[in-house]
Structure 1
Amino acid sequence: MNRTLSLKLGAIAVLIILLLIPLLMIGGLIDERQALRDSVVQDIAQSSSYSQQISGPVLVVPYRKTERRWTLQEGRSIQETSQVSGHLYFLPETFALESGIDTELRSRGIYQARLFHAENHISGQFKLPARWGITEDFEDYRFEPAFLAVGISDIRGIEKGLQLQLNDRRLDFQAGTRLGWLGSGVHVVLGPLDGKGETLLDYAFDLSLQGSGQLHVLPVGRSTGVSMAANWPHPSFIGNYLPASRKVDADGFSARWQTSFFSTNLEDALAQCVTNANCEDFRSRAFGVSFVDPVDQYLKSERAIKYALLFIALTFAGFFLFEVLRNLSVHPIQYALVGAALALFYLLLLSLSEYLGFGPAYLLSAAACVLLIGFYLSHVLRSLWRALGFALGLVVLYGMLYGLLSAEDYALLMGALLLFGLLGVFMVLTRRLDWYGVGQGRLQ
């Protein structure tokens, strides 16, 4: 290979390395803007309400138990008594939740956060065993009024007053769950219950709940059925259980979950929570839906800039083909100017996407770069048709890049096929080229 060609290839390689500097700076700017957006979204959620999880209802029966033991004192057996307090916990036999959800955008500056308003109807039945399931001496127990507790992770999101319908009674909820392990929420005092025989309690209440990000439901029933319907067409179903059925279209989604104690093992998780103060397992057995916007311009901009080096290398390879096949000379500064235009594409993409969304921003940024480079190359290559051909190649590359960004599941396959195809084109065009004779008196 002649010395002139070696110097040209070395200069191109140095330019590509130098162009990494602005690309890294733009990549850092993407991270900075994304962090700023996340902080604004967090501030909006802090001013309204965070993600929500509904845990309950749980029926709680406080008790005081008299414990007796015999001790030997001065040769005589003496009975000593002590009082021990605690709670009996009962999960519903059936638990049904029907939720109608509307979403809205809240803006602060150029940033937006998506909130949801869920109108929930919760109903079911408690089946309380005779003698509260106690197998010991029932007369040693003194029971206080039972209460029903519902955990709500952020009670600021409760939009209306709550009233429980219990059999033929109506009772008002009060703030707080009275249970440290259940966290924040509400409770309602049920009053004294006759625990001597088996008791059936039908319950129902409406819960209007506002939140942001995600809505979780803990399947507390021995048999649990949850249905949700929303005007959000991009749901992400999350948690330990996927919907048994779902429908997603342009107008929104609907989904239904069905679980049982056989699949959740929630009674054991509750026992571990109460006895060992290890409630993470109990709270984590939830499922629900995420309302986070899947079209994240920062994530797509970050993915796009990962292909920047390849994009610049392919463009420079096209320049080099013009030089060796058309016997033209392109100065390294001209390479650098075109490379700078390609790098600025990503800065344009980032800045415009914050106002227009990723799709329109990509179209405008790509069009601006193609027009600028095409105009410049019409003089560098000394031919309008050559410049148009090169600009058309850039259009194809930008189109392929957008396809890679849109088809996340097939990005690797599409990228591999693209590289293989471009390598094949390069080899076909240069199959008869005398590389030892390239650049004699021309490349400089």
Structure 2
Amino acid sequence: MDTNNNQQGKFGKWAKTSITARMIIVGILVLVLMIPLSFIESLITERKFRQQEVVGEINQKWGEEVLLYGPILKVPYKVYHTKYVMNTESKKSEKITSSSTKYAYFFPEKLKINSTINPEEKERGIYKTAVYKSKIDINGSFSTPNFSEKDIKNEDILWDKIHLVVQTSNLKGAISLFEIKMNKNQYSLTSKNFKTKKKYRSNVINLNELESNNILETDVPKDKEVLFSMSVEMKGSKQIQFIPIGKDTDVNIKSDWKDANFIGEFLPYNSDKITEDGFNAKWKILDINRPFSQQYFSGIPDLTEFASGVNFLIPVDEYQKSERSAKYGFLVIGLTFLIFFLIQTMSKINMHPFQYLMVGIALTMFYTLLISISEHSSFFKAYIIAGTAVVLLITAYSKSILKTLKFPLFIGISLTALYTFIFVIIQLENYALLVGSIGLFLILAGVMYTSRKIDWENN
């Protein structure tokens, strides 16, 4: 019994006086604190998914993104098939010719799109998203369909059965009828009751196909160009885009929305697109600028990857910044414990592992405060409030441990500098790695300079 007590006494004395023992204990505590830190990262991810879920539900009820593809001229033509059948009576093969109807699709010669967007914010609880109402005016012309590629004779083209086709997403958001005016005649477009799924930048967009009845032969571009025009009003969210199918396409989108984000294969050409009152973006796209033809004989192609337009999503980066902050949790806890360890070693003040644990828990509380406050305020304000609260708490707690004033003040200043350093890294994008590397180098240099005074052999 005396031997066991003696061994326990030696171990306890070694744990209190040995630098190696303290280093091992502090290291174990850092690893233990990674457990609640991982739960906090999971909480941030969960809140981000919740925000996306609520925004998606609002957008789905109001109207999803708008993608307009058209108008397109759908021209039927006859193709002939020949086969030989054996006549059982004459014992000779007979030639039988039959015909079927196929369709060719021709894009406009000129296409001009003018869209005015009136956005507004929708809120549900603490989450909000941008939705809009749009007025879209489309004008242009169709030139005479060219069938020379298929060697189709003029008499095999069914000029009296030509249709107009428009593909668009979000018919739910339509607040006006789709009607196209050719010359002086108006043609209504009706849904064909099916959706074609187009994969666009990892998202699947449902495109509804709208088609007119037969257009009059007087409105068919058989011998000359025919002008067309249409005007639609739609509700939508997220973004609005157009596919530049005209041989000469001009697009103009304007709005009083001040956080415009231009997306797609082509960007606006005008340098004055962003103003204090919103934006007025202009695109001019020629057929030589894009890698697709003006006519197709095998169905309407999937050209969603060539769409361009404007994104109206409200920039919500609080969760992303909180995630990035939490990734530095190991660094914050490790460096804070290192500061306490150096102070303890150099001042000969004993600190119990439980006190280290309390400091570590306070550091992890910073991230829960950050995410909860940022949901109701800006990330900057949340960071200031959470950081100030944690720094003051740890400074006050260290004052009760270290008894003097200079060490708690040093800890408070160090934590303030550390949180400021991490905040700067989070805000940076292109220079985050450079600034982070330089900062860590300076921290390492400071630790090396301070630790040179420690007598490692006598501890």
Using the size of structure 1 for normalisation, the TM-score is 0.87
Aligned partners of 1:265 and 1:179: how far apart in 2? 28
Moved more, 354-363 or 297-306: 354-363
3-state secondary structure, aligned to 1:105: strand
Matched to 2:123, the amino acid is S
Aligned length: 432
CA contact (8 A) 1:65 1:142 kept: no
**Structure 1 pair 230/435, CA: closer, same or farther in 2 (3 Å)?**
farther
3-state secondary structure, aligned to 1:20: helix
Matched to 2:362, the amino acid is A
**Structure 1 pair 385/206, CA: closer, same or farther in 2 (3 Å)?**
farther
Question: For residue 144 of structure 2, what is the aligned residue in structure 1?
Answer: 128
Question: For residue 127 of structure 2, what is the aligned residue in structure 1?
Answer: 111
Kindly report which structure 2 residues correspond to 1:414-425, keeping only aligned pairs within 5 A, or say none: 414-425=435-446
Please provide the CA RMSD for this pair. Answer: 2.9
Question: For residue 223 of structure 1, what is the aligned residue in structure 2?
Answer: 248
Q: 2:51 aligns with which of 15, 37, 45?
A: 37
Matched to 2:134, the amino acid is A
Aligned partners of 2:388 and 2:268: how far apart in 1? 43
Question: For residue 149 of structure 1, what is the aligned residue in structure 2?
Answer: 165
3-state secondary structure, aligned to 2:112: strand
Moved more, 362-371 or 95-104: 95-104
Aligned partners of 1:415 and 1:260: how far apart in 2? 45
CA distances 1:413-436 after superposition (whole Å, capped 9, x unpaired) = 111111011111222223343332
1:175 aligns with 2:190: yes
Aligned partners of 1:196 and 1:288: how far apart in 2? 30
Aligned partners of 1:346 and 1:362: how far apart in 2? 9
Question: For residue 90 of structure 1, what is the aligned residue in structure 2?
Answer: 106
Matched to 1:59, the amino acid is L
Moved more, 215-224 or 192-201: 192-201
1:51 aligns with 2:65: yes
Question: For residue 259 of structure 1, what is the aligned residue in structure 2?
Answer: 285
CA contact (8 A) 2:160 2:214 kept: no
1:362 CA displacement:
1.5
Aligned partners of 2:428 and 2:221: how far apart in 1? 63
Kindly report which structure 2 residues correspond to 1:272-291, keeping only aligned pairs within 5 A, or say none: 275=298, 279-280=301-302, 282-291=303-312
CA contact (8 A) 2:19 2:456 kept: no
Moved more, 194-203 or 337-346: 194-203
**Structure 1 pair 99/278, CA: closer, same or farther in 2 (3 Å)?**
closer
3-state secondary structure, aligned to 1:87: strand
CA distances 1:79-100 after superposition (whole Å, capped 9, x unpaired) = 6342311223110111122222
**Structure 1 pair 116/91, CA: closer, same or farther in 2 (3 Å)?**
same
Matched to 2:106, the amino acid is F
CA contact (8 A) 2:105 2:300 kept: no
**Structure 1 pair 426/142, CA: closer, same or farther in 2 (3 Å)?**
closer
Aligned partners of 1:378 and 1:255: how far apart in 2? 59
Question: For residue 379 of structure 2, what is the aligned residue in structure 1?
Answer: 358
1:238 CA displacement:
2.6
Aligned partners of 2:238 and 2:121: how far apart in 1? 11
CA distances 1:134-188 after superposition (whole Å, capped 9, x unpaired) = 7443334444432222211111111223443323x14153332689769414334
CA distances 1:254-306 after superposition (whole Å, capped 9, x unpaired) = 332222222223227x63xx52x6944x2322122322333322211111100
**Structure 1 pair 299/227, CA: closer, same or farther in 2 (3 Å)?**
same
**Structure 1 pair 33/15, CA: closer, same or farther in 2 (3 Å)?**
same
Matched to 2:170, the amino acid is D
Question: For residue 213 of structure 1, what is the aligned residue in structure 2?
Answer: 238
Question: For residue 6 of structure 2, what is the aligned residue in structure 1?
Answer: none
Question: For residue 186 of structure 1, what is the aligned residue in structure 2?
Answer: 210
Question: For residue 257 of structure 2, what is the aligned residue in structure 1?
Answer: 232
1:15 aligns with 2:40: no
CA contact (8 A) 2:143 2:221 kept: no
1:405 CA displacement:
1.2
Question: For residue 363 of structure 2, what is the aligned residue in structure 1?
Answer: 342
Moved more, 227-236 or 144-153: 227-236
Question: For residue 315 of structure 1, what is the aligned residue in structure 2?
Answer: 336
CA distances 1:190-240 after superposition (whole Å, capped 9, x unpaired) = 623256853211122222222222222111111112222333333333322
Aligned partners of 1:180 and 1:87: how far apart in 2? 19
What 5-or-longer segments of structure 1 have no aligned partner?
Answer: 440-444
3-state secondary structure, aligned to 2:18: helix
CA contact (8 A) 1:224 1:260 kept: yes
CA distances 1:71-129 after superposition (whole Å, capped 9, x unpaired) = 77538786634231122311011112222223222222222222132222221211124
Matched to 1:324, the amino acid is T
3-state secondary structure, aligned to 2:227: strand
3-state secondary structure, aligned to 2:123: strand
Using the size of structure 2 for normalisation, the TM-score is 0.85
Aligned partners of 1:399 and 1:409: how far apart in 2? 18
CA distances 1:13-38 after superposition (whole Å, capped 9, x unpaired) = 01100100100111111122222222
CA contact (8 A) 1:218 1:283 kept: yes
Moved more, 60-69 or 317-326: 60-69
Aligned partners of 1:40 and 1:179: how far apart in 2? 27
Aligned partners of 1:196 and 1:390: how far apart in 2? 81
**Structure 1 pair 362/185, CA: closer, same or farther in 2 (3 Å)?**
farther
CA contact (8 A) 1:66 1:141 kept: no
Matched to 1:259, the amino acid is I
Aligned partners of 1:140 and 1:72: how far apart in 2? 29
Aligned partners of 1:190 and 1:132: how far apart in 2? 23
Aligned-residue sequence identity (percent) comes to 30
**Structure 1 pair 213/430, CA: closer, same or farther in 2 (3 Å)?**
same
3-state secondary structure, aligned to 2:430: helix
Matched to 1:12, the amino acid is V
CA contact (8 A) 1:55 1:151 kept: yes
